[in-house]
Amino acid sequence: MRILLLVSAFNGLTQRVWCRLTEAGHDVGVELAPVFATPEELTAAVEEIDPDLILAPFLKHRVPREVWDRWTTVVVHPGPVGDRGPSSLDHAILDGGERWGVTALSAVEEMDAGPVWATETFPMPEVPLAKSALYNGPVADAAMRCVDEVLRKVAAGESPVPADELPREVPGTDELPLLRRVAFELDWSLPAPDLARRVAAADGAPGAPASVGGRRVCLFDAVATDEVPDVHAEPGDVVGHDGDAVALATGEGTLWVGYAAELAERRGPKLPARLVLDPYRHSPYLEVPAALAETTYERDGDIGYLTFRSYSGAMHTEQCLRLTAAVGKALTEDTRVLVLRGTEHAFSNGIHLGMIDAAADPAAEAWANIQAIDDLCEAIAEADQTTVAAITASAGAGGVMTALCADVVVARDGVVLNPYYDMGIFGSELHTWSLPARVGDDVAEALLWNKLPVGATGAEELGLVDAVGPRDPEEFTAWLAAQAHAAASGSVAGRGGMSADAPGRPLSYYRTVELAEMARDLFDDRYGFAAKRRSFLSKTAPTETPAKLRFSTA
């Protein structure tokens, strides 16, 4: 089937759909809606493509009548049957309902009002998830099931069903208004769980605004606790810190915050909370709650499990240094296998572009960041124990390459890997050694040159990962334990883990070559790293659809 993905951005869900469809053998192309200045331009582009089906897994733009009237056009809406509006997930988290859903419906004149092709509901977590985690987890999983059902019905010649003929599994759904930043304002007299819910609902954008220490800020990545520090404080005061996280007093309990941004006329960059709220660490040290802990280590006999957490997958210099130290400490344990895993919601995307851009000397900070993540890669690659990297959530660039330094690499079903660098930098993380060692020179060159996402199944077929485990987080944890025990017994062999390649080059050779290229990219800016970084961070609208995403056939 010739399928056009009409989207506002090539985001995580769109990439997951793209991988699923291409792996299934469909002819798939992408067009970015912001590129088209007028409905006429968009219609002309679709007419030239003449697809069998238009899918819109992430679309904030209106589809012209001239398009949906002629081509079957299905929009994936992050809400259950009956829900309408641009702030669906914001409302779902704020309202604290027990269930939510996703609906695939035909595009019509009114947004989110067309007949339904497929719908799925799921239970909402009792402790609210940040909007991005909810979107990339339960919402994306439900969306994929809807997409599968849409393809089945289109292939079978079936038609969608009017929404008013379907039961509303989630009661009270209707058209809900757009929520702007003011709707998420934090009132420090409220209990910490209420504030954490507001921060979760405002995650990503627009951010939860608040006043802290007489300054206006936006807060992200929050966890509520019942504990109250033994200090005299007013609600809204900073009362403690641990690593990058900061604790604030509330009307009841304590709110821990992982990320924050200055809020003046415009919102500043999202940075570790301590840099914005407590840069000089004037507050006392408190132990951060487990849900915000940067690393945790557990041992099961001969196997050690080191779990690392990052808010968005980006890892700044100090974080990389702390993680390298944690790996080193874990390797001193009397174990045979060390498993390094991310969380259900994030793995790694490599260096931290936000911290780099906010630094007084961005080039120097980028250089320090790449050196620090390279230290981590060497610690993994040169370990005496067998190392297993478990890619628990989608990963990109240096995050993928860091995982490839392990002896065994496994992934959770549904994750998407972007095993390349696309920010005007050559990249490091020992990728010139690890990538060819796993997939061969030709495939490695194609991955780095084509710059296209790879689904978990495709990654296993390429040899990029050794095995793919269940999507369900609890099932994956049990499966991962079985893989680790197999590695401890020597019955599972990965493709990585070499300290040198066949010609006898040490790892330092690859690091030196890569850093020589990176030095020119960072300090000479030969391929526009600074401009590309700022464009990425500011989410600048695209001016054209990249050629790599368009249809490969005429």
- How big is the chain, counted in residues? 554
Query: Domain span at residue 10?
Result: 2-165
Q: Which tens digit of pLDDT belongs to each residue from 4-35?
A: 999 999 999 999 999 999 999 999 999 999 99
User: Could you give the percent of the chain with pLDDT greater than 90?
Assistant: 90
Per-residue pLDDT at 502: 55
- CATH code assigned at 251: 3.10.25.10
Q: Which long-range contacts (CB under 8 A, 24 or more apart) does 96-99 make?
A: 96/124, 96/128, 96/197, 97/124, 97/170, 98/123, 98/124, 99/123, 99/124, 99/169, 99/170
Span 135-158, average pLDDT = 97
pLDDT, averaged across the chain = 94
Same domain for 276 and 353, yes or no, is no
Point out which residues pair with 396 in neighbouring strands.
Answer: 418
Strands (E) across 112-265 are located at: 116-123, 208-212, 215-225, 238-242, 245-249, 254-262
Which of 159-173, 291-305, 318-332 is the least confident region?
A: 159-173
Q: Which tens digit of pLDDT belongs to each residue from 86-99?
A: 999 999 999 999 99
Per-residue pLDDT at 349: 97
Same domain for 346 and 273, yes or no, is no
Q: What is the pTM of this model?
A: 0.95
Same domain for 20 and 159, yes or no, is yes
Helix (H), strand (E) counts: the chain: 18, 23
In a domain? residue 389: yes
In a domain? residue 56: yes
In a domain? residue 454: yes
d(CA 219, CA 198): 10
Whole-angstrom CA distances from 522 to 164, 372, 448 are 56, 15, 19
Q: Coil, strand or helix: which one is 553?
A: coil
12, 394 contact by CB (below 8 A): yes
d(CA 276, CA 262): 7
Domain boundary among 289, 310, 325: 289
Which of 308-322, 342-356, 539-553 is the least confident region?
A: 539-553
In a domain? residue 173: no
d(CA 254, CA 396): 34
Domain boundary among 254, 289, 324: 289
- CATH code assigned at 65: 3.40.50.170
Same domain for 452 and 316, yes or no, is yes
* Band (499; pLDDT cuts 50, 70, 90): very low
In a domain? residue 455: yes
Question: Residue 501 pLDDT > 60, yes or no?
Answer: no
In a domain? residue 171: no
Same domain for 451 and 417, yes or no, is yes
* Band (80; pLDDT cuts 50, 70, 90): very high
In a domain? residue 544: no
d(CA 224, CA 199): 11
Determine which helix (DSSP H) or strand (DSSP E) holds 409, and give its type and residue range: strand 408-412
Question: Residue 185 pLDDT > 70, yes or no?
Answer: yes
Domain count, the chain: 3
End-to-end CA distance of the chain: 14
Same domain for 238 and 317, yes or no, is no
Q: Per residue in 68-99, is it b (16+ CB within 10 Å) or e — as a string?
A: beebbbbbbbbbbbbbbbebbbbbbbbeebee
CB neighbour class for 470 (10 Å; exposed up to 12, middle 13-18, buried from 19):
middle
- CATH code assigned at 472: 3.90.226.10
Per-residue pLDDT at 29: 97
Same domain for 271 and 373, yes or no, is no
Q: Coil, strand or helix: which one is 212?
A: strand
Which of 84-93, 226-235, 360-369, 545-554 is the least confident region?
A: 545-554
Same domain for 310 and 383, yes or no, is yes
d(CA 37, CA 182): 30
- Name the residue among 389, 402, 397, 462 with its Cα closest to residue 423: 397
Per-residue pLDDT at 231: 85
- Name the residue among 147, 74, 80, 152 with its Cα closest to residue 115: 74
Same domain for 317 and 378, yes or no, is yes
- Name the residue among 95, 98, 114, 96 with its Cα closest to residue 106: 114
- Measure CA 378 to chain center: 25
d(CA 102, CA 138): 9
Whole-angstrom CA distances from 14 to 4, 144, 267, 324 are 11, 10, 27, 33
Same domain for 279 and 300, yes or no, is no
Span 290-306, average pLDDT = 96
Per-residue pLDDT at 491: 65
Per-residue pLDDT at 493: 57
In a domain? residue 417: yes
Per-residue pLDDT at 496: 47
Same domain for 200 and 265, yes or no, is yes
Same domain for 320 and 268, yes or no, is no
Structure tokens at 302: 């001969």
H helices of 406-546, where?
431-439, 441-450, 456-462, 473-489, 507-523, 529-537
Question: Residue 498 pLDDT > 80, yes or no?
Answer: no
Q: Which tens digit of pLDDT belongs to each residue from 231-290?
A: 889 999 999 999 999 999 999 999 999 999 999 888 999 999 999 999 988 899 999 999
Per-residue pLDDT at 172: 81
